[in-house]
Structure formats: structure tokens, C-alpha cells
Amino acid sequence: MAFEGRSAMSLKAEFVRLAGAEGANMTQLCARFGVSRGCGYKWLERFRQRGDEGLAELSRRPHGSPSQTEEKIERAVLAVRSEHPAWGGRKIAAVLKRSGLAHPAPSTITAILHRHGYPVGRFGGGQEHFIRFEHPHPNDLWQMDFKGHMPMRQGRLHPLTVLDDHSRYAIAVEACADETGNTVKAKLQAAFRRYGLPWRMAMDNGSPWGDTAGGPFTPLTVWLIECDILVSHSRPYHPQTLGKDERFHRSLKAEALSGPRFESLGQAQQQLECWRHVYNTRRPHQGIDLQVPADRYRASSRDYSEHVQPFEYAPGDQLRIVQMHGRVSFQNRVLRASRAFVGKTVALRPTTKDGVYDLFFRHQFIKTIDLNALDQPPESVHDVSEHLSTMSPV
């Protein structure tokens, strides 16, 4: 139930922030986190009264503090910077403000850092703020990718990241031993059980969610479609299409992966999960007006089902079962669809143009087939070029 490597404190903090979001379903969240409704309401009330301190059972620290001298403010600035070496003046100012402390301007904080010999602008801090397209609601789109791989003292680490487009909430930062479809599926199942289902997921064209030789669909993306999730792939050689996750990887590298090598996957997961909690709940994000991602995220209302649900195609659809090598028989022709759909039922849906059909698997558009353009004789195999649906900017 609980994510591997997560502390009780971080679980409580995430729970109360999701439960406090507008329209949150308390019964649903309690079931996903494995706690009783009474316990969930207790955590929420303590958080509302005392903030994060209320989640620590033995904590009795005051919620506020007396007026601080300039020296105390300076110490607070240096304490935040020491804990988060990649943060600059704007982030530190936002953190102090959220904590209820008197806070100088970001430029003053930058001057304090300079005065004490802290470098400014390293690790991606202080970079230009880019304006990007943003989906209007949480869970409209999740971006997913691997952050390369790196050596550990025992084996190699393949960090898997899943990011909510609207809120920049880090759904998952997972320490994986490989980049196989089965590994990704297991990590996504844990995320779906905790946060519910997104409407769409975007990823690049590499393995395990893309096959440069056999098309953009793989067993992993077929499973996502069967979970009632739309799948989109970035344009080849255009990593900026997944710009938010790419930018997230810069922060991940600077703040969580730049230290000594991890001893093992277990240690890596523990540290990545600690960083994810800070990123979601404490680290101000310039792309969302220095809010933290938890301020804008809420869990999905769409529950994950452990079993594939039946799907009913539209009236008039021509249904076919994809045969060996990803082939489909249609109007005395054998058309090549995709090996990923072998054994699955697909639909050929007529368009407004005679002889032109759209190929669908469940709700997912696969390609357009123009029978008029096929000049080969009947019964031959036609490798129909794929005209994928245009992906919205992310």
C-alpha cells in the first residue's frame, strides 16, 4: 500500500494536503492510504490547527515566533540554503514567507548568500523563467520519462519520474533497476492506487513505451489504454515537447542525484522519496508563481481497476481481431497495424471520405488508413503509413 522508502511523516503530510484540496473525497483517500476515516479526519484537523508540526505526535513547538532581529532572519536564510544548496533568493524568500517569518526581498537574500560565500546560479538556480502551455486541471496530463541511468556502488540506478502537468506535482520518483515495461507497470500501478488515474499520459518514443522500429505502441502503452488513459508520444528528436519533465530532471539532478553514489536501490529510493516530499510540499516553483506543487494538486476522482474493464465500440465500427505480426484483414486486404495489439479487438471507423478509415483501439486513435491510396493487388500485406493524432503542446 505505502510507497517503498516513505516515512510516516511524509505520508501524513501528503494525505492532509490531498484531503484539503477542493472537491477531495475523504472516503476514497482514506482507502488509498490505508487509514480509517477517524484517523484521516484527526490528521486533517491537526494540520489545519498547527500545520506540519501538528502531524508529529510529540511536537509541541509554537506555531509562530516573536519578532526577529536581522541576525535571526539572516540565520534563517542560511539555514534554508544549507539544507537546499540549489535554491536561490526567490525560493528561499517564498519558503520564509510560507513559514510565517519576516522575510527580506529575494535580492537581499541573494546579497546575504554572496556575503557568506554561497555561490548563486549553480545547479540551474536563477535561470530564466520560461512560459509554457499548462493544462487547466490536475490529472489532465501526466508526463513520464527515465532520467537516464547512473552507477551505484551495487548495480545501476534508473530513476523513473512521473509529473503532473498542471501542478508540477511529482507523482513518482522511483529508483528502478532497469527500464523494462514490467518495472514501469509495477511503479505505475502503485501510483494509480494512490492518486487515481490521469486522463492522458505523455512520453517519448523510446523503450519501453515506444518502439522506434515497430511504431509508437508497446505492451505497456496498450495496458495504459486498457486502463482508460489516452497515450501521447512526443515528436521524434523534440524533447522540449515534454518540457516540464525535462526541467524537473534538472532539479532532480542538482538537488538529489549530484552527491555520492548510492549504496543500493533501497537507499536510493529512500533519499529520492525524501526529496520528492520536499519538492512537492516545501520547494517553491517559479513556474506556478512560487507556490509549491501541493498547493495546486488534488487526487484524481477516477479509481484504478485491477482488472481490464469491458469496452463497447460505436455503432458502425468494423471490428477486427489483430492477428499474428500485427495484421488485420479488411476488405480483401491484409493491413499491418501493430504487433502490440496482437489478440486485441480494434475498430475501423469510416470517415467522411469514401474509402478512408480511422483505426482505433478502444478510445485511442491509432492511425488513418486510406484504401484508395493502396495500389497493390488484393490479399497482399500493406504497410500503411501512420498518421498519428497531433499531440497538444505540453
Q: How many CB atoms lie within 10 A of CB 356?
A: 14
Q: Mention the CATH class of domain 142-296.
A: alpha beta
Cell (9 digits) for 156 = 545501476
The CB-based long-range contact list for 146-151 (8 Å cut-off, 24+ gap) reads: 146/176, 146/179, 147/249, 147/252, 147/253, 147/257, 149/179, 150/257, 150/261, 151/261
Sheet of 364-370: strands edge to edge? 318-321, 345-350, 356-361, 364-370
Which pLDDT belongs to residue 167? 92
The structure's pTM equals 0.73
Which pLDDT belongs to residue 384? 43
Which pLDDT belongs to residue 119? 61
Q: What's the angle, vertex CA 163, arms to CA 183 and CA 292, rounded to 5?
A: 140
Query: Is residue 25 within 8 Å of 37, Cβ to Cβ?
Result: no
Query: Is residue 370 within 8 Å of 335, Cβ to Cβ?
Result: no
Which pLDDT belongs to residue 121? 54
Q: Cα(272)–Cα(255) distance, rounded to whole angstroms?
A: 10
Q: Domain-by-domain residue ranges, the chain?
A: 8-55, 73-124, 142-296, 318-382
Residues of the chain with pLDDT under 50: 1-4, 58-60, 63, 65-69, 122-131, 378-394
Q: Cα(203)–Cα(208) distance, rounded to whole angstroms?
A: 10
Q: Cα(9)–Cα(52) distance, rounded to whole angstroms?
A: 9
Which pLDDT belongs to residue 103? 65
Helix (H, G, I), strand (E, B) or coil at 150: strand
- Bridge partner list, 359: 348, 367
Which pLDDT belongs to residue 178? 95
Which pLDDT belongs to residue 346? 95
Which string of b and e fits 246-269 if b means at least 16 CB within 10 Å?
bbbbebbbbbbbeeeebeebebbb
Query: Is residue 256 within 8 Å of 275, Cβ to Cβ?
Result: yes
